[in-house]
Amino acid sequence: MSTEDSLGQVLPIYFVADESGSMHSYIGELNDGLNTLLDELSKETMAASKVRFSILGFSDNVLCHLDLADLRDVETMPALAARGSTSYAAAFNDLHQRIPADVARLKSEGYKVNRPAVFFLTDGMPNAGDGWEAAHTALVDSSFREHPNVLSFGVGAANAENTVSAKNIVAVATKEHFAFVAASGTDTGTALAEFSKSLTQSVVSSGQALADGGGELPFEPPENFVMAVDIL
Amino acid sequence: MGKRFRAGRESKSWFRLPGQGDGLGLSEGEEDGPPSGSLSDVPDGPGVPSAVAPQLEFTERPANELERGVTSPAPEMSDPVVETDERDTAPEMAGDTEAAEGGGPARRPSGGQTSPPAGDPDRIARDASMAERKAARDLERRAPARQLGDGRWWVEHPVVVGAPIPVFESIPTAALHRVGPYRPDTVIDAWGESHYAIRAASLRGYGHRHDGRPRQDDMSVTMIGEGRMVVAVTDGVSSADQSHLGATVAARWVTQAAENHYRETTGTRIDWAEVVRSAAWAMVEQASSALGTERTAEAAERVVASTLVAADITFDATGAEAEIVGVGDSGAWVLSPEGFESAVGGKDSEAAVVSHSVSGLPRLPSELSPTRCLIKPGHVLLLGTDGFGDPLGTGNGEVGRLFSDSLLGRIPAPLEFAHLLDFSRETFDDDRTLVAVWPLEQE
């Protein structure tokens, strides 16, 4: 294929999942959700052709479970596993390194690349004093050319009853209305299932929105979640 | 239709994250701002002289504009392209078709996956991605076009460039978008005289066929006088729900206003600023009367925004001279044996990440300076929307080759022209409109 050819536009999506020890009882829900996502995308090949998906797990450090991939090429989803602590800093530092390299690779393949989207899911407070705020600023600052849109989701101990963590969830998102926490009283397994559904819909409809030449990231908030900014 | 493509279609109330301005698109070194241009210059009342006020009713059509609804290829209800279990691997498929040539780096899950070490022959064979192998098999299943020897030809699938878009049947247009008159999937027009020929087609993209949205592109082509033609090509901005209406109003207004201008002034140059300004006003009026929006450019922009590229073409013994204006990302090119030369518009292919902030009417550009170009006999002037311009790119790739092979040195039949424009290429599923003008050697 000639290098003069444009292969069209793609949207990189990063799913960044909390793999801290406290996720142990719920990680199965997330893995089920990822398998459903893969199944749904296989039915939506036109949308799938425009999305590239990556799965990162963070705890003390970051494990890349899926390098940014065309999901049509992926036969089985990797499994997340609970381990260690909750270092937001590790996650943001990893994205800051990873995203420009991924964007450059897609461009060298002939694609035009839309601003990446990050879905950040956590069930707890960040490690104290790990400097995540600075790492986060470096990632989302507009001086960073490939700065992504970040959507953040709090479940488990980071649900709506935890006002301190709600503030963090808002701080992680690049817009106040990109930040959600599981509603009080929502069982964590249910919240994760709803989150996964919402992630899947977002991936499918992002492909369709690109098909439509739209510059918007279509996203339906998960059921049983509330906007974190509303937690006072 | 079966279950194919059903998932994700029942989009409920999508919560839209703001995109233009701070969303997905960014371009090198600049944050997306609001679309450039001005809304304030659009007259908010009927300030256009009545002599320049063309007919706006949809039932009125310019006499020389023929619309022919062309149905999509026959449904392939039994075609298993989408539902077949594609997960078997067939290494011998890799590299044996055009679609598999892309190769590319291995894109496989890492971490926890057992894959053979790099350099392993099996792994190399598997490195042609699954998507490419699927595309190759999809191509094999497609019935080739057949010539029946009596002028008939059987074509069930589009021309494929590289990896194809999956085969599917269009779904009906959703009620939300059935505002205004019947809107066919495809419009084709064509005519010619001794000194020129034109071929024009406006097609719904695969994305809109798949999602039940109408064709948001449109076009209008009119002979405004002896040897003088005006072409308008428009692309409704998809964030505006009824942008297909805006695209139609803008295209038809421009050609009719140009024709009126020609009659009144006996052929002087078109005052593009005035024509474009009045087209913007026509969109505001149309949105107000057909959709009940407030009669302001701001309100109209939300429902009927559209890009525009228009040309005033004069044919003479040496070929043609065109004066071209553009608002937004539709483009114009001159195709010669040397390749495609961009005359107007298009997108910035050098941007770091794609920008989606398309500026279109009724937003007026701060400056509208027409581009002039000469088209020799043997060369072709092309005006098209980004549905054509994006896959064309520089014109030096496969899509460019398809069109230069088909349009240089020959004039395709109208239906062949539309069939070409309907080419299938993965990820390129926007509406496409293309008007091609051949100046001919005069005898």
Judge: B206–A114 Cβ closer than 8 Å, yes or no: no
CB B407 within 8 A of CB B436: yes
Judge: A216–B162 Cβ closer than 8 Å, yes or no: no
Tens of pLDDT, residue by residue over B268-277, are: 889 999 999 9
- pLDDT at residue B295, as a whole number: 93
- pLDDT at residue B186, as a whole number: 97
- pLDDT at residue B411, as a whole number: 97
Q: Which of B83, B101, B107 is the best mutation test for A, with the most CBs of A within 10 A?
A: B107
Domain assignment present for B141: no
B15 has a pLDDT exceeding 50: no
Domain assignment present for B129: no
* CATH assignment at residue B299: 3.60.40.10
Domain assignment present for B349: yes
Judge: B25–A47 Cβ closer than 8 Å, yes or no: no
Q: Is B190 left (phi over 0), alpha (psi -120 to 50) or beta?
A: beta
> CB-based burial of residue B288 (10 Å sphere; 0-12 exposed, 13-18 middle, 19+ buried)?
middle
Give the number of domains in chain B.
1
- Percent of residues, chain B, with pLDDT higher than 70: 67
Tens of pLDDT, residue by residue over A134-143, are: 999 999 999 9
The pLDDT mean for chain B works out to: 75
Cα–Cα distance list, B39 to A108, A169, B35, B36 (Å): 38, 38, 10, 10
Q: Which segments of chain A have a pLDDT < 70?
A: 1-4, 209-217
* Binding-face residues of A in 135-194 toward B, CB within 8 A: 142, 145-147, 149, 175, 177-178
A49 touches chain B (CB under 8 A): yes
Judge: B238–A44 Cβ closer than 8 Å, yes or no: no
Cα–Cα distance list, B59 to A19, B62, B181 (Å): 62, 10, 8
CA end-to-end span of chain A: 56
B126 touches chain A (CB under 8 A): no
B46 has a pLDDT exceeding 70: no
Closest in B7, B16, B28 to A40, CB measured: B7
A101 touches chain B (CB under 8 A): no
- pLDDT at residue B139, as a whole number: 74
Q: Which residue of B has its CA nearest to A178?
A: B17
Q: Which domain holds residue B198?
A: 50-68+175-439
B263 has a pLDDT exceeding 80: yes
- pLDDT at residue A217, as a whole number: 67
- Superfamily of domain covering A9-230: von Willebrand factor, type A domain (3.40.50.410)
Under the banding of pLDDT at 50, 70 and 90, the label for residue B248 is very high
Judge: A65–B111 Cβ closer than 8 Å, yes or no: yes
Judge: A204–B131 Cβ closer than 8 Å, yes or no: no
- pLDDT at residue A33, as a whole number: 92
How do beta strands B146-147 and B432-439 pair? unpaired
- pLDDT at residue A209, as a whole number: 66
Chain B residues near residue A214 by CB distance under 8 angstroms: 19, 238-239, 356
Which alpha helices (DSSP H) does chain A contain, by range?
Answer: 27-43, 45-48, 88-108, 132-140, 163-172, 188-211
Tens of pLDDT, residue by residue over B298-356, are: 999 888 999 999 999 999 989 999 999 999 888 999 999 999 999 987 655 444 555 55
> CB-based burial of residue A97 (10 Å sphere; 0-12 exposed, 13-18 middle, 19+ buried)?
exposed
- pLDDT at residue A229, as a whole number: 87
Domain assignment present for B342: yes
| Chain length of chain B | 443
Cα–Cα distance list, A33 to A17, A56, A143, B19, B111 (Å): 12, 15, 34, 26, 19
Closest in B25, B130, B391 to A114, CB measured: B25
Tens of pLDDT, residue by residue over B116-171, are: 444 444 444 445 567 677 777 777 777 788 888 888 889 989 999 998 998 889 99
- pLDDT at residue B22, as a whole number: 33
Domain assignment present for B218: yes
Alpha-carbon distance A105 to nearest alpha carbon in chain B (angstroms): 10
Alpha-carbon distance A220 to nearest alpha carbon in chain B (angstroms): 5
| Assigned token pair, B105 | 């780096």
B87 has a pLDDT exceeding 80: no
Buried b (16+ CB within 10 A) or exposed e, A219-228: bbbbebbbbb
- pLDDT at residue B129, as a whole number: 67
- pLDDT at residue B357, as a whole number: 53
User: How many of the other CB atoms lie within 10 Å of CB of B267?
Assistant: 15
CA A216 to chain centre: 16
Under the banding of pLDDT at 50, 70 and 90, the label for residue B80 is very low
Q: Which of A208, A99, A107 is nearest to A148 (CA)?
A: A99
Chain B residues near residue A215 by CB distance under 8 angstroms: 19-20, 23-25, 32, 239, 355-357
Judge: A216–B19 Cβ closer than 8 Å, yes or no: yes
Chain B residues near residue A201 by CB distance under 8 angstroms: 8, 11
